[in-house]
Structure 1
Amino acid sequence: MRKVSLLLLAIVALVTFESCKDSETYADRKKKERAAINDYIAKNKIKVISEAEFFAHDSMTDVKNNEWVLMNSTGVYMQIVRKGVGSKVKQGEIKNLLVRFDETDLKTDSITLSNRWLYYSSLVDHMVIKNTSGSYLGVFIAGKSTMWSRYRSTAVPNGWMVPFDYINIGRPKKDGDEIAKVKLIVPSSSGTQNATNSVTPYMYELTFQEE
């Protein structure tokens, strides 16, 4: 009987040890997130510039040199591919947008969601944005958004709001006009609720057009 009890205790201790060893802390997840972002930057030979350098170049990034700017307040890395036609969203203004995007999980380096290759207007994500004293709030339109269908939330990730201080929103009116296009590396803290819960960073390639 004593031998059986000792064996059971040994098994319980082993299971407990393995559970503790396999459990992952939030700090561990954050380290993996940082590693995934750094790996993506290294793999894609991204040149990270400071906000000071970004502002000195008229709030633009050099796409030919694969420049991205690190926005310190959010931890978002941003590349402005095109500033776009139209104008910036003004103070107090509300605009309806059409958005095309790719969403890439940086931990697996795989596209998890996309509507960028669907060029029918009914399949483009519909989004509303408002500028309140320089702070932007965006909502997806339920039933008219791939992001809403996937994540069941109308809340636009905070990371998506970062470019709006620097890009124009409008519609092409003549040949040569191009809508705004950006790329973003969004850490979990500025991503969807799903990204926050799983501590997963995503890369987004986005175009914005006024509806």
Structure 2
Amino acid sequence: MALVLGAITITSCNENESYAKQLERQSESIDAFINKHKITVISESQFANQGYKTDTTKHQYVKFNNNGVYMQIVNEGSGEKLKKGETATVLCRFDETNLLTDTIQLTNRALAWDGMVDKMMVTNTSGTFTATFDASSSVMKRAYRNTMVPSGWLVPLTYINLGRIAKPDDKLAHVRLIVPSSQGHKHASDNVYACFYDITYQRGV
């Protein structure tokens, strides 16, 4: 119900605004989130110089200029990166925060969804990642009625490992993302709002 009410509110606001104004409002919401959480934005060159890592003690996020996504790698994860030419099942747990309202509007970590992870099939084609949600196992699909995986969710796959918890010291890949509407799901794109995601990635069977 909260998700539906939020969607109605956003849509009604957008109907009275130009696209340029909506983009400006989105940009302001991203800046406000960055300031509120004392995020330090680093360049892609600094990210590369740091070995493609972000310092969480300094609240670092790298901004990718080609798509506007901000990313913090909390843990690069155990296992291996998805190889070129490989297709794999990837399981995700996530929280999605709408930056316009600064509230969580979707999560599969809630008790109601405890038995469901978001499952997606991901393919690495010469370094370009494409993916679709499994319609039978996806809170994102149920909420937004679309199997398209937001492009922003695929950005970390170049830098993280995909594995499973097999030993006590194994870790799942864990990232935080600020995803502008152009890299988000259809509802975000249609209504021009950015989302913050806290996501773990695990290699499926």
* TM-score exceeds 0.5: yes
Structure 1 runs, 4 residues or longer, greater than 3 Å off: 117-122
Paired residue for 2:83, among 80, 84, 90? 90
Bigger Rg over Cα:
1
Find the aligned partners of 1:77 and 1:150 in 2 and give their Cα distance.
Answer: 24
Seq. identity, %: 45
Matched, 1:69 2:58: no
Partner SS state of residue 164, structure 1: helix
TM-score by length of 2: 0.90
Q: How does 1:123-202 map to 2 (within 5 A)?
A: 123-202=116-195
Find the aligned partners of 1:65 and 1:195 in 2 and give their Cα distance.
Answer: 29
Letter in 2 for 1:158: S
Find the aligned partners of 1:106 and 1:118 in 2 and give their Cα distance.
Answer: 23
Match of 1:10 in 2: none
On the 8 A contact 2:108/2:114 being kept in 1, the answer is no
Offset at 1:23? 3.0
Matched, 1:46 2:70: no
Find the aligned partners of 2:79 and 2:58 in 1 and give their Cα distance.
Answer: 26
On the 8 A contact 1:156/1:192 being kept in 2, the answer is yes
Aligned residue pairs, count: 190
Offset at 1:124? 1.0
TM-score by length of 1: 0.87
Paired residue for 2:49, among 49, 56, 74? 56
Q: Which runs of 5+ in 1 are unaligned?
A: 1-21
Partner SS state of residue 84, structure 1: coil
Letter in 2 for 1:57: Q
CA distances 1:99-145 after superposition (whole Å, capped 9, x unpaired): 10000000000000001245987411111110011100011000210
Q: Which runs of 5+ in 2 are unaligned?
A: 1-14
Find the aligned partners of 1:177 and 1:127 in 2 and give their Cα distance.
Answer: 22
Matched, 1:209 2:169: no
Find the aligned partners of 2:111 and 2:123 in 1 and give their Cα distance.
Answer: 26
On the 8 A contact 2:79/2:163 being kept in 1, the answer is yes
On the 8 A contact 1:171/1:210 being kept in 2, the answer is yes
On the 8 A contact 2:78/2:162 being kept in 1, the answer is yes
Partner SS state of residue 64, structure 1: helix
Find the aligned partners of 1:71 and 1:162 in 2 and give their Cα distance.
Answer: 9
Change in 2 beyond 3 A, CA 1:166/1:119: farther
Find the aligned partners of 1:77 and 1:64 in 2 and give their Cα distance.
Answer: 17
Partner SS state of residue 87, structure 1: coil
Find the aligned partners of 1:82 and 1:109 in 2 and give their Cα distance.
Answer: 24
RMSD in angstroms over aligned alpha carbons? 1.5
On the 8 A contact 1:77/1:185 being kept in 2, the answer is yes
